[in-house]
Amino acid sequence: MKLQEHNDQELVSMYLTGNESVLEELLRRHKTKIYTSIYLLVKDQYLAEDIFQDALIKVINTLRSGKYNEEGKFLPWVMRIAHNLVIDFFRKEKRAPSIISADGSDVFDMLQFHEESAEDRMLREQTHLDLRAMIHLLPDDQKEVLIMRHYADLSFKEIADLTDVSINTALGRMRYALSNLRKMMKVKEIS
């Protein structure tokens, strides 16, 4: 029986019993889909390749450690790993928006007419820390949509496709995330 005739679960079982060559077949089957999903999020070829490699390393390490138990759901499991690595990247990057004017300069750079005082800087940094802490408290599905929309700058269609839900569900999760953040901010103002 050729490797191509085996399903993913059979190939994973073969890999776990020491047949390293089956990993190539699993990669051949799924590389395009995994890489494309990463690229759609990060919109940068080299970054997508780096995250893809990190995901592959994590998959191999998890398989070798004996912690894999997804029972026939290899691709969704790998996609989840890749997706989580993308979210981790955006959390670390804290991507700031930029608006480029007709002459090619960033509008936000032009808006800073004065030196930021130490007090202003401390207040801004504390606000960012508070917001990040509040986002961390959101339920995972709301946090995921919020990060993908505001930090990864994805459309709700892209978010729906990547999280395997309808656009309405993605929109609803965003609405709940923003509502919950507003509630947390009001509680913080009162206390």
In a domain, 44, yes or no: yes
Give the pLDDT score at 53.
94
In a domain, 111, yes or no: no
Give the pLDDT score at 56.
92
In a domain, 109, yes or no: no
- Among 86, 24, 97, smallest CA distance to 52 is for 86
In the chain, which stretches have pLDDT less than 50? 96-99, 106-115
In a domain, 157, yes or no: yes
User: Do 78 and 8 reside in the same domain of the chain?
Assistant: yes
User: Do 91 and 1 reside in the same domain of the chain?
Assistant: yes
Task: Say whether pTM exceeds 0.85.
Answer: no
Give the pLDDT score at 117.
63
With a pLDDT cut of 70, the percent of the chain lying above it is: 82
Q: Total domain count for the chain?
A: 2
Give the pLDDT score at 114.
44
In a domain, 110, yes or no: no
Q: What is the CATH number of the domain that holds 166?
A: 1.10.10.10
Residue-wise pLDDT tens digits, 13-28: 888 888 888 888 988 8
Q: Across the strands, what pairs with 100?
A: 106
In a domain, 106, yes or no: no
Q: What residues make up the domain containing 139?
A: 116-190
Give the pLDDT score at 98.
47
Percent helix, strand, coil in the chain, to 5, is 75, 0, 25
Give the pLDDT score at 105.
54
